[in-house]
Structure 1
Amino acid sequence: MTPAASNDYLTLQSKLRATARSLQKWSDRWIGNVKLQIAIAIEVIKQLDIAMEARTLSDAERDLRKCLKRKLLGLSSLERTIARQRSRMLQLREGDGNTRLFHQQASHRQRKNVLRMVKYNDQLYSGQDEVASAVDAYFGAAFRSACPCGFALNLEELGLPRLNLAHLERPFMEEEVEGVIKSMPRDKAPGPDGFTGRFYATCWSIIKEDFMRAMGCFYNGDMRGLAAINKSLVSLLPKKDGALEDRWLDGSRIQEVAPLLYSLVPKRIRDSRLVAPAVENGSWALDVGPGIGPAVLHEFFLVWQLVSAWEPMVDVPDRVVWSWEATG
């Protein structure tokens, strides 16, 4: 039992944290290290297979081998489920879970991406503290309060139809909140609180009272403690020189310069190929699949000339760029 905090936001946050800790303890006790268990099971099965080539296994050894194979299937399925929940790839075809790209996406948070230098207001900042200060200053300026506007629209003169929108100001109903929660993606990667949509949908009958009290505070304009549950993550990633997707050939992508050649490159290579290893010794040419015709051959030589003339920009610092596009 978790004691109630000073307000409803903190109460919900403390209960969610206590639930996460309890689930972690339960997982450590009853599930343990899945990868280690898989490795042990594979090794024991391997030794039994080696022994079976030289002699007949005893009944106990055969039963152990069958049991380990059943458990290995279950552990492999569990490992795949964990990887899917860690991944942010929402569109997965059957079989994609065994590709290198999928596992790179699923474990990308375990790799440390470091910004060693950023440029802000024409000044370079290096070191963790300076980079953090520059980023904080940039986003603080980008999200500051809007400047007073000297003009206003007279909506009365436009003659727009009047609609009764009183229903938008009514308190949150339990039914509509439950509908929104149960319409969330179930197996999407967890948010900052560590829980997936499946947790909220499955445990709604347990958490709804605390949840609705927090929603009531929000409706009444009481924002004290809201920061405890209303969190967001801002991730700054170093430049990734995608060989087939980025504009590194005179400001153009490969698919814009050579669309036919681009179509012959398998999708898994397009998503993972980097510029540095691609241009080294012309190894990008090995990525092109079969089916090269005269038109493709023309594009091939064009790309070869562009790549041969391309020079990498060494020691160019990263910079924060904030821009709006037509697509939003």
Structure 2
Amino acid sequence: MVDLPLLGRRFTWYNSNGRAMSRLDRFLISDEWALKWGIGSLWALPRDVSDHCTLILKYNHGDWGPKPFRFNNFWLENKNLKEVVERFWVDNRVDGWMGFVLKEKLKGLKAHLRVWHKQEYGGLETRIEELKVEIGDLDCKGEEVGLNTQEIERRKEKFGVLWKLLKSKEALMFQRARSKWFKEGDANTKFFHGSVKSRVKSNLISALRVDNIWLDSPISIKEAVHSFFENHVSSSHIVRPHLEGVNFPTISEADNSILISSFTLEEIQEVVSASDGNKCPGPDGFNYAFLKKFWELLKGDIRIMFDQFHGNSCLPKSFLSYFVTLVPKVSSPNSLSDFRPISLLGCLYKLIAKVLAKRLAKVIDKVISSNQSAFIKGRNLVDGVLVVNEVVELAKKTKRECLIFKVDFEKAYDSVDWGFLEYMLVRCGFCAKWIGWIGVCIFAGNLSVLVNGSPSPEINIQRGLKQGDPLAPFLFLLVVEGFSGVMRRAMHLNLFKDFTMGRSPVVISHLQYADDTLCIGEASVENLWTLKGILRGFEMASGLKVNFWKSGLIGINVSSTFLTMASTFLNCRLGSIPFKYLGLPIGANPKSGSTWDPHLDHIRNRLSSWRNKYISLGDRVVMLNAVLNSIPIFFYLSLLKMPVSVWKQLVRIQREFLWGGPKGGNKIKWVKWPVVCKAKSKGGLGVRDVRLVNLSLLAKWRWRLLLPGRPLWQEVLVAKYGDHILNRVCHTPFFDQSLFCVFF
């Protein structure tokens, strides 16, 4: 059953004094209903004197506008497609530079494939049903009087056509569902239908609240979305200050030579081969599955396009246009702030951006501080979490005062000022040619917002980075490196007192994972003034606005009086130990079940959204390995040793899902769990044992301790526990669990 999101209000029941409220009333529709009638909008009406609100289900059949072209991957199974594409590509000559030629040819190919699709697959559902009836009629005739040779051949031919159409339908549903864990060739169209409807239900915009007014017509909603994003991506055109007097590391001439060297066909082809062909396409409508299939046809033109881009730093305007799709951040989105914008880029622009990003990844670590743990090879999300846990544990143990400020940057990617990004590129030593390439890719373009699949009018962008652009993560690191530079300058001038660890002190002033920032220091009024000044100044320089009200202040061994004063001064919320950073616990007891409860609940909720009646036993095994063991528990298991009680609960959840019935009920456990976890070659099902996964991920820390270099997390461990920790790694048995607990 599909639980529709509630519009109009959050709750449907209120007690007499109005202090207790809940969403008790729901409107559930079956998948069969949704497939036949679509998904409407659920509204809560005023409750008058009742303690319950009346619910009403509305169906809006308005016209949202035309849907853009999208290359369907099931076309690749059609033997005629290759001839159709090759003939069009060769016969249609376009004059001009290669970027323009590719743009025009892809534009013409879209129209050509639309016509071809209608001829080959028009009325897919109707043709499938007609073939089933015709085959059934022949079967009945065969039962009664028998079939002659021609009728037998005709039935065989119809079976072949039906099989092709059914595989096309399955492939189409698979692409729309975008289920990454399903095995290739696993026919489960009903599950894909359910996945598509679940995705449509969560992404559907049936109404929006703008200035406390509800809009529910397609025209008014699209106008509101267009107006919102037009304001969102416009620049204020103010003169921003520069970070003069702040020192930044720079890349060398050799690094610049790597960045601007000639493009090779091998590096382009490597990017194409490694890219996912099922990703949603941008305005050009083509994905990497198309590029892979027709690489031999296209590679010559694409190579010329790269060579010309290397020389003239130019791209067609349409390459820089992109779609923005809105993904809900909450279960019942009401306003546009409840959606996360994700960019859908054209395949050729994305190819260029990926090649540039791959080059940038080779040198970016030389200009990014060790406090930053995002997107750089050798640095992990759990590194910063480990460091702040060690800070909290040391502060508690030594009774030292420590103040932690959890910074919330408001829409960080979308707020980046292009002038500041260019300034940071110059300050970090990037050459003019590379900066020119980045300017072409980033400092221009138009976006169209997809509202229920239909694009809005184009909007000229004037700031921000595109979420989904391969270059965006690395460029954003350069932006927030400006904050690290200012913090270093403040400490150098003794304006900010950091937190030190060890006899050979390691200085901890701030930690970052992209824009997720923790500022750590002494609990003093001077630190508060400096921190607020740095954040305000960085906002003026970079465009990244701090949402102080959503930020949090946590004190360790700090008086409640000081914390109250500090939270008032910073206009932020007061937090406490334990708290979460990057979704992982800080200062929590890993042996306590309450530390693991949120994650176990998350797994249960994920499982409740998957319907066992659609999924075979083999698919459930694939799901357990590919999904259950890759969602946030991976980071929990990389950081904390799982208690036996939690391990048993998790195994119970996995076992019930594996053997559960159509409605998730209990079924006979045909095989003991240790046998299920054995490799398939040894008679098991190949489900990974979570306990062994936990031990192996913790053991990875020992391996990382032996790697060359001295990252920040390793400096912290050595400063806190001494150099002997490295000797223990070299001379203790690999699965000496006592070592796992040294810093966990």
Query: Which TM class, normalised by the smaller chain length?
Result: 0.5 to 0.7
Match of 1:178 in 2: 269
1:222 aligns with 2:598: no
Among 110, 133, 144, which residue is 1:43 paired with? Answer: 133
How many angstroms apart in 2 are the aligned matches of 1:159 and 1:15? Answer: 44
- Are 1:91 and 2:433 matched, yes or no? no
Matches within 5 A, 1:124-139: 124=213, 126=215, 127-139=217-229
1:192–1:231 contact (8 Å) kept in structure 2: yes
Alignment CA distance shift 1:10-1:115 (3 Å):
farther
Q: Mean Cα displacement is larger for which, 208-217 or 261-270? A: 261-270
Query: Does structure 2 conserve the Cα–Cα contact (< 8 Å) formed by 1:192 and 1:232?
Result: yes
Q: 2:287 maps to what in 1?
A: 196
Q: Deviations over 1:152-199 (max 9, x none)?
A: 16565x677857312112343333222212221234444432223122
Q: 1:70 aligns with which of 156, 160, 163?
A: 160
The residue type paired with residue 176 of structure 1 is E
Within a 5 Å distance, the mapping from 1:279-318 to structure 2 comes to: 289-290=665-666
Name stretches of at least 5 consecutive residues in structure 1 with no aligned partner: 243-254, 273-285, 292-328
**For residues 159-170 of structure 1, what are the structure 2 equivalents within 5 Å?**
162=252, 164-166=254-256, 167-170=258-261
| TM alignment of 1:96-175, pairs within 5 A | 97-98=187-188, 100-106=190-196, 113-119=204-210, 122=211, 124=213, 126=215, 127-145=217-235, 148-150=239-241, 152=243, 154=245, 156=247, 162=252, 164-166=254-256, 167-175=258-266
Change (3 A) 1:71 1:222: closer
Aligned to 2:301: 210
Which stretches in structure 2 are left out of the alignment for 5+ residues? 1-90, 334-596, 615-661, 668-744
Q: Which residue of 2 aligns with 1:54?
A: 144
* 8 Å Cα contact 1:9-1:214 kept in structure 2: yes
Given that residues 96 and 102 in structure 1 are in contact (C-alpha distance below 8 angstroms), is that contact kept between their aligned partners in structure 2? no
Q: Compare the two structures and name the one with the higher helix fraction.
A: 1
Alignment check: 8 A CA contact 1:265 1:288 kept: no
Equivalent residue in structure 2 for 1:21, among 106, 111, 133:
111
Work out whether residues 280 and 287 of structure 2, in 8 Å CA contact, stay in contact via their aligned partners in 1. Answer: yes
Question: Secondary structure in 1 aligned to 2:324?
Answer: coil
Output the CA distance in 1 between the equivalents of 2:665 and 2:97: 62
Separation in structure 2 between the aligned mates of residue 159 and residue 79 of structure 1, nearest angstrom? 54
Summarize the Cα distance change of 1:289–1:99 in structure 2 as closer, same or farther, 3 Å threshold.
farther
Q: CA deviation at 1:8?
A: 4.0
- Structure 2 distance, partners of 1:46, 1:8, is 54
Query: Residue 259 of structure 2 aligns to which amino acid in structure 1?
Result: L
Larger RCO, structures 1/2 (Cα 8 Å, 6+ apart): 1
Q: CA deviation at 1:42?
A: 0.9
- State the alpha-carbon separation in 2 of the partners of residues 99 and 27 from structure 1: 20
Shift in alpha-carbon separation, 1:263–1:27, aligned structure 2, 3 A:
closer
**Preserved CA contact (<8 Å) 1:85 1:187:** yes
**How far is 1:92 from its partner?**
1.8
Give yes or no for the alignment of 1:81 onto 2:171: yes
C-alpha distance in 1 between matches for 2:264 and 2:599: 54
* Cα displacement string for residues 225-264 of structure 1 (whole angstroms, at most 9, x for unaligned residues): 32x133322234687559xxxxxxxxxxxx8599499479
Distance 2:274 2:241 in 1: 42
Instruction: Quote how far apart the aligned CAs of 1:6 are.
Output: 5.6
- Residues 181 and 153 (structure 1 numbering): CA distance in 2 closer, same or farther, change over 3 Å? farther
CA distance in 1, matches of 2:186, 2:205: 29
Q: Percent identity?
A: 21
Instruction: Give the partner amino acid of 2:665.
Output: G
Report if the CA contact (8 A) 1:185-1:197 is conserved: yes
Q: Is the 8 A contact 1:83 1:103 kept in 2?
A: yes
Q: C-alpha distance in 1, partners of 2:606/2:269?
A: 47
Q: 1:130 to 1:30 in 2, by over 3 A?
A: closer
- Which letter does structure 1 place at the counterpart of 2:666? P
Q: Distance in 2 between matches of 1:34 and 1:161?
A: 57
Contact 2:178–2:278, Cα closer than 8 Å, also in 1: no
1:316 alignment partner in structure 2: none
CA 1:94–1:160 in structure 2 vs 1: closer, same or farther (change >3 Å)?
Answer: closer
Equivalent position amino acid for 2:226 in 1: D
Q: TM-score normalized by structure 2?
A: 0.30
| 74 and 210 in structure 1: CA distance in 2 versus 1, 3 angstrom threshold | same
What per-residue deviation string (whole Å, max 9, x for no partner) do you get for residues 29-64 of structure 1? 455544333222211111122223332333332332
| TM-align CA RMSD | 4.2
What amino acid maps onto 1:16 in structure 2? L
Distance 1:97-1:196 versus aligned 2 partners, 3 A rule: farther
Q: Secondary structure at the match of 2:666?
A: coil
Shift of 1:20: 2.6
CA distance in 1, matches of 2:271, 2:599: 45
Local SS of the residue matching 2:103? helix
3-state DSSP of counterpart to 2:325: coil
**Secondary structure of 2:209's aligned partner:** strand
Q: SS where residue 105 of structure 2 aligns?
A: helix
